[in-house]
Amino acid sequence: MRIFIVHAHPEPTSFNGAMTRTAVSTLTSAGHDVVVSDLYAMGFDPVSDRRNFVTVKDSLVLKQQAEEAFASERNGFVPELQAEMDKVAWCDTLVLQFPLWWMGLPAILKGWIDRIFAAGRAYGGGRMFDRGVFVGKRAMCSVTVGGHEAVYSEHGVYGRSVSSMLLPIHHGILAFTGFGVLEPFVVHAPARMSPEERQASLAEYGERLLSLEVAPTMSSLRMADYEGLVLKSASPLPFSGPPALRR
Amino acid sequence: MRIFIVHAHPEPTSFNGAMTRTAVSTLTSAGHDVVVSDLYAMGFDPVSDRRNFVTVKDSLVLKQQAEEAFASERNGFVPELQAEMDKVAWCDTLVLQFPLWWMGLPAILKGWIDRIFAAGRAYGGGRMFDRGVFVGKRAMCSVTVGGHEAVYSEHGVYGRSVSSMLLPIHHGILAFTGFGVLEPFVVHAPARMSPEERQASLAEYGERLLSLEVAPTMSSLRMADYEGLVLKSASPLPFSGPPALRR
């Protein structure tokens, strides 16, 4: 198994750092290949615009998607983006490791998506969901959050689970591009854990990682049910219940 | 009325650009004060870490929230962040102008939130929702999306409305810090509009902006209903139906 971990935390000694070190040692010991992009350590620039390209389709007006599609056909991405695209193409499973900041991805990781998942490379021409570019690959969010679990429930101030908060990422980014989306691994309030609790959580994460190949993925869409990106009238609604799991 | 527009699009001649120019001219003509932060034009850096601070609480281990709280007490933010914090403090209404990229904020704008909404300045010490720092201010997302409205419905491939996709932003960022959250202004597929349709959409946006002071805001939480960030047992669930509007 080839695992690509995109790591987005500024402090190496953080719990996120410990999780990625656990992932590398656990997976490597089990005979898997692991590649890590440590975005802060790399000084990754998350701003998406003309800086993405060595090619220029229209020098007067920037239409980002059109420039992306143009660059996709001409090997026109700057080397630091091409290198990340190559890692995504290489892997069987993509792991996004991040602290939940403001209910979403830290900007450095959001910009990694904005820039790497370019039109022509990650989608385009009807390639999405079960016809997506990354069909056959799996993806998982590995997330730390500051609050306890109850705070992320319908009775908590956030009103919904971390998994619900991740829905735009799960559905709109990962499933959209064809990944089989695994349930996220969520760690609550690591800063308030005892050393024993930290070790137990890291051990649980290690076990979870070893099941990446066989764990169920969330249900996605079948594009055959859609016409013009809208459900054909005869098809059942795909989101009528809680997210189903399938093997 | 004092309006602060945070603008996040790399191309000045884009529809987003036209929207912000419309906003400035419409609101200024009506006697309001408008300030714009054009993040791409400013070269805004969205990466949050030690670069945010001139102060240092702990030089060995970076705990971002602790450094933010420390800097808040000592005027310890770098000038480019302090300037943005001052604009937020100044305004009555905050407008986030952006294209929906991967169902969320472009990284340059996500990082503006990550860095500007610092612990100690935008939240902390129980200040959240109706006890939030920005209570009395209003906020609105003004968003362009690539697809037609049906694609963002329960029958479309995205499975939900743009407004639902914005929930982590509306609830987790804006309502959390105390803003009264206005319904988003959403423009579908501006690139495929005729010149007449573009003008009509911009005119509609201008009218919407002139109602910012009186438009209803989405329902938020009353912190008195919560204890330890979890609902007291006697209180009704706040999220049991579609988002309600109130004046």
What residues have CB less than 8 Å from A205, skipping those under 6 apart? A19, A22, A23, A142, A185, A187
Q: What is the pLDDT of residue B154?
A: 87
* Domain containing residue A179: 2-215
Position A225 in a domain: no
Contact A6, A37 (CB under 8 A): yes
- Of the CA atoms within 13 Å of residue B179, those in its CB half-sphere come to 27
pLDDT at A247: 35
Residue B247: inside a domain, yes or no?
no
Strands A93-99 and A138-145 come out as parallel
The pLDDT of residue A239: 54
Total number of domains in chain B: 1
Residues sharing a CB contact under 8 Å with residue A8, sequence separation 6 or more, in sequence order:
A16, A39, A40, A96, A97, A98, A99, A105, A106, A108, A109, A112
Q: How far apart are CA B76 and CA B52, in angstroms?
A: 9
Q: What is the mean pLDDT of residues A76-103?
A: 98
Q: CB-CB: which of B102, B153, B168 is closest to A165? A: B168
Q: What is the pLDDT of residues B54-75, one digit of tens each?
A: 999 999 999 999 999 999 999 9
User: Residues near B186 by Cβ (< 8 Å), separated by ≥ 6?
Assistant: B143, B144, B145, B162, B163
All residues of chain A having their beta carbon less than 8 Å from the beta carbon of residue B61 are 11, 13
pLDDT-based confidence at residue B237 (cuts at 50, 70, 90): low
Are B104 and A104 inside 8 Å of each other by CB? yes
Which tens digit of pLDDT belongs to each residue from A117-169? 999 999 999 999 999 999 999 999 999 999 999 999 889 998 888 998 999 99
Residue B159 pLDDT: 85
A47–B40 CB contact, under 8 Å: yes
Q: What pLDDT was estimated at residue B220?
A: 84
Note the pLDDT of residue B245.
43
Half-sphere exposure (Cβ direction) of B142: Cα atoms closer than 13 Å: 30
Query: Is 80 exceeded by the pLDDT of residue B236?
Result: no
The pLDDT confidence band at residue B234, using thresholds 50, 70 and 90, is low
**pLDDT 10s digits, B205-218:** 999 999 999 999 99
List the Cα angle A199/A201/A204 in 5-degree steps. Answer: 110
Out of A62, A159, A230, closest to residue B151 by CB? A230
Give residue B246's pLDDT. 40
- Whether A22 is in a domain gets the answer yes
C-beta of residue B62 within 8 angstroms of C-beta of residue B50: yes
* Mean pLDDT in residue range A84-109: 98
Inside any domain, residue B238? no
Stretch B220-224: mean pLDDT = 91
Give strand pairing partners of B96: B6, B141
Interface predicted TM-score (ipTM): 0.94
Report the residue of A47, A129, A151, A188 to disrupt the B interface, i.e. the one with the largest count of B CBs within 10 Å.
A47
A178-195 pLDDT tens trace: 999 999 999 999 999 999
Specify burial of residue A151 (Cβ count, 10 A radius: 0-12, 13-18, 19+).
buried
Q: How many CB atoms lie within 10 A of CB B90?
A: 11
What pLDDT is recorded for position B244?
43
- Spatial contact of A33 and A62, defined as CB atoms under 8 Å apart: no
pLDDT bin (cut points 50, 70, 90) of residue A245 is very low
Q: With a cut of 90, say whether residue B40 has pLDDT above it.
A: yes
pLDDT computed for residue B242 by the predictor: 41
Residue A246 scores a pLDDT above 80 = no
Report the CATH number that the domain containing residue B72 is assigned in CATH.
Answer: 3.40.50.360
Residue A80 has pLDDT above 90, yes or no: yes
Q: Is the pLDDT of residue A69 over 80?
A: yes
Task: State whether B168 and A171 contact (CB < 8 Å).
Answer: no
Question: In this prediction, what percent of chain A has a pLDDT beyond 90?
Answer: 86
pLDDT of A76 = 98
B243 occurs within a structural domain:
no
**In chain B, which residue's Cα lies nearest the Cα of A113?**
B102
Chain A contact probe: residue of B6, B14, B47 with most A CBs at under 10 A: B47
Search chain A and give the residue with CA nearest B152.
A230
Does the beta-carbon distance from A10 to B49 stay under 8 Å? yes
Q: In the predicted model, what is the mean pLDDT of chain B?
A: 94
Test A155 with B237 for CB contact under 8 angstroms.
yes
Look at residue A241 in the predicted model and tell me its pLDDT: 42
Is a pLDDT exceeding 70 seen at residue A13? yes
Q: Is residue B231 part of a domain?
A: no
A59 domain residue, yes or no: yes
- For residue A132, being part of any structural domain is answered with yes
User: How high is the pLDDT of residue A238?
Assistant: 62
Q: What is the structure's pLDDT at A236?
A: 62
pLDDT over 70 percentage in chain A: 94
Residue B3: predicted pLDDT: 98
Using a CB-CB distance cutoff of 8 angstroms, which residues of chain A are in contact with residue B169?
Answer: 102-104
